[in-house]
Chain A
Amino acid sequence: MKHLLSTKGLGRAEAIGLLDIAEDMADVANREVKKLPTLRGKTVVNLFFEDSTRTRISFEAAAKRLSADVINFSAKGSSVSKGESLKDTAQTLAAMGADGVVIRHPASGAPEVLAASGWIDAGIINAGDGTHEHPTQALLDAFTIRRRLHGSASRGKGLDGVRVTIVGDVLHSRVARSNLWLLTTLGAEVTFVAPPTLLPMDMSAWPAAVGFDLDAAIAAKPDVIMMLRIQAERMNAAFFPNSREYSRRWGLDDERFARLAPASIVMHPGPMNRGLEISSAAADSAASTVLEQVANGVSVRMAALYLLMSGDREDS
């Protein structure tokens, strides 16, 4: 694997292979020494043009568990905020000898531009670009679902027939997009539920069912329900009248949570707005995988870093 830019186009075998390696990486966390020497002498740069402490520390932990050196390059307070271009930043990192770049950027496609540019010859991992994709989040979500369903027998398995309902701001969500492509590649059936204003204008090319009614979606007893975060800035932009109405129609409140099938999984990519898109009872229940998702994030990112940074890059 040369870069990990999106889950669209990721093959089923490739995706399952990555999740299987993530299982091996998860095992490392249970050992006496929770570290592998695999990327000793390699440098991973976390290039964050957008604040995300959670994602950054997850990648940082992953790189460090593989013994890589980690440089955190944050746009805030650096030359980037003074107008330095992506090109100059990339060439600077190349000159420092970065072997892998984890990039978070507010512009959709920025990781792809970086990978295609020739400015830097390093493996690029997309850690979230604009409203496009967030592939490692989808991979950790798939990993989490697979573990809940199959436990220690997860290796080699897809998510065939698993019904996943994703609720919330699909329009602006890179998590929703990455999950759509990955989960369907793995055989799951994806349904989006959102206010019509928070759905993309044309979803005809998406292999997903779309609905506006959360109660109907819950009545269909999905295996997994994933609640997306509502960003504060949407509330001021007339996407919906106010947070109370949103919560009433599209929030996973206690009453809706109770109507889910007992074996359902409740997911949230975090950070959560408790009481808005998800109630505390749902978030803290045994059905919730919120904390597992965080732990699994490190394993999945270790697998991605391993696949990108080992191997002869000319060959891959």
Chain B
Amino acid sequence: MARTVLSQADIARALTRISHEILESNRGPDKLVILGIPTRGVVLAQRIAETIQRIEPTATDVRVGSLDVTMYRDDLTRTRTRTPSRTLVPGSIDGVTVVLVDDVLYSGRTIRAALDALGDHGRPTIVRLAVLVDRGHRELPIRADFVGKNLPSSTDERINLHLLEVDGDEFVSIDGGAVSDLAGQDAR
């Protein structure tokens, strides 16, 4: 029994707020690189970049890209072989602020992998983390700087996060309990 917790409009509002917060904390749009973590993080990163551009029409240097973390995961021999996605880092990231964007923050292991991956591309001045949903249950000392929605959940619940560009529809819902199947769920 799925319960919708964010509608398409809620998601849009949350991303707009996150964009404002990013600008605020960065004191403007300069030297900002938004990197999404595939698959849905890349879509969210693009939307945030577009929103920032709208808020600050004169900004010339809002760069957006994708950062695949597959090769940096700590569970490669524990699950079936993963097919990596593309990494596209727009230009140098030395001395800039990088905002990592992911859809759901859970164990924190994906973000740990992303930080390692980022370090192999350069040395940003600041790295921040934006997520649409934080569902808790961290296994590593990692927290998000910008959160769309905190969704305290139990581990046997399942968070469904759909985005138009990937899934054809858009919402965040939560499935109760034991019968959930984990297909599509961001692995812990």
Contact = CB atoms under 8 A, between A and B. Distances in A.
A and B touching (Cβ–Cβ under 8 A): yes
B153 interface: no
Contact of B81 (A31, A35, A311): A311
B184 to A, nearest CB: 18
Contacts, number: 53
Interface residues of B, number: 19
B80 A316 contact: yes
A205 B54 CA distance: 62
B61 interface: no
A312 B77 CA distance: 5
B78 interface: yes
B80 A155 contact: no
A312 B80 CA distance: 5
A312 B78 contact: yes
B60 interface: no
Task: Provide the main secondary structure of the chain B interface.
Answer: loop
B76 A38 contact: yes
A216 interface: no
Interface of A is mostly: loop
B80 A35 contact: no
Nearest to A311: B81
A307 interface: yes
B183 to A, nearest CB: 15
B80 A311 contact: yes
A37 B122 contact: no
Interface in A283-316: 306-307, 310-313, 315-316
Interface string B44-87: 00000000000000000000000010011000111111111011
Given A24-B86, A38-B71, A38-B72, A32 B80 contact: no
A307 B87 contact: no
A61 to B, nearest CB: 16
Contact of A316 (B71, B72, B81, B121): B81
B72 A310 contact: no
Interface of A: 1, 17, 20-21, 23-24, 27, 31-33, 35-38, 66, 155, 306-307, 310-313, 315-316
11 contacts: A21-B84, A24-B86, A24-B87, A33-B120, A35-B120, A37-B71, A37-B72, A37-B116, A38-B72, A311-B79, A312-B78
Q: Across chains A and B, which 9 residue pairs bring their CB atoms closest together, nearest first? A: A311-B81, A33-B120, A310-B76, A38-B71, A36-B71, A315-B80, A311-B80, A310-B81, A24-B84
